[in-house]
Structure 1
Amino acid sequence: MKRAIVFGATGGIGQAICQDLAESGWSLYLHYNSKEKTVEELVQKLFAKYPTQDFMPIKLNFETDDAQLSEFVKNLLPVNAVIFAQGVTNYGFLGDEDLE
Structure 2
Amino acid sequence: MKKFALITGASGGIGAATAKTLAKEGWNLYLHYHSNEQRIVELLTELENYPIEIIPIKADLSVDNGCKQIVENIFQLDAIVYSSGNAPFGLFCDLDDDTTESAIQLHVKSPIKLIRNLLPKLMRNSVSQIVIISSMWGQTGAACEVIYSTVKGAQISFAKALSKEIASSGVRVNCVAPGAVNTGMLHRFSREELENLEEDIPLRRLAEPGEIADTVSFLISEKASYITGQVLAVNGGWYT
Report the TM range for the smaller structure's normalisation: 0.7 to 0.9
Give the alignment's TM-score, normalised by structure 1. Answer: 0.81
Q: 1:88 aligns with which of 81, 86, 89?
A: 86
TM-score, normalising length: structure 2: 0.36
Look up the SS of the partner of 1:29 in the other structure: strand
Instruction: Give me the whole-angstrom Cα distance separating, in 1, the residues matched to 2:12 and 2:32.
Output: 10
Judging changes above 3 Å, is the alpha-carbon distance between structure 1 residues 19 and 92 closer, same or farther for their aligned structure 2 residues?
same
Cα pair 2:57 2:73 within 8 Å, conserved: no
Give 5+ residue unaligned stretches, structure 1: none
Relative to structure 1, the CA distance from residue 90 to residue 2 in structure 2 (aligned partners, 3 Å threshold; closer, same or farther) is same
Give, as a single letter, the amino acid of the residue that structure 1 aligns with 2:65.
Answer: D
- Give, as a single letter, the amino acid of the residue that structure 1 aligns with 2:59: L
Indicate the residue corresponding to 1:59 in structure 2: 58
What's the offset of the Cα at 1:95? 5.7
Cα distance between partner residues in 1 of 2:83 and 2:71: 18
Tell me the alpha carbon deviations over residues 47-77 of structure 1, each in whole angstroms, 9 at most, x when there is no partner. 1x20x211111101121437x71x6413312
Q: Could you tell me how far 1:10 is from its partner in structure 2? A: 0.7
Structure 1 counterpart of 2:33: 32
Partner amino acid for 2:21?
A: D
Identity of aligned residues (%): 34
Q: Aligned pairs, how many?
A: 95
Is the Cα contact below 8 Å between 1:30 and 1:58 reproduced in 2?
A: yes
Contact (CA 8 Å) 1:5, 1:30: kept in 2 or not? yes
Runs of 4+ in 1 over 3 A off after TM superposition: 93-98
Superposition RMSD on alpha carbons, in Å?
2.3
- Classify the secondary structure of the residue corresponding to 1:75: coil
Change (3 A) 1:7 1:92: same
Could you say if the C-alpha distance between residues 40 and 91 of structure 1 is closer, same or farther in structure 2, counting changes exceeding 3 Å?
Answer: same
Tell whether the 8 Å contact from 2:89 to 2:144 is kept in structure 1 after alignment.
no
Would you say the 8 A contact 1:6–1:84 is kept in 2? yes
Which structure has the greater CA radius of gyration? 2
TM-superposed deviation, 1:34 = 0.4
Quick one: which amino acid aligns to residue 76 of structure 1?
A: I
Gaps of 5+ in 2: 92-142, 151-240
Which residue identity lines up with residue 61 of structure 1 in the other structure?
A: D
SS in 1 for 2:30: strand
Shift of 1:97: 4.8
The within-5 A match list for 1:10-49 is 10-47=11-48, 49=49
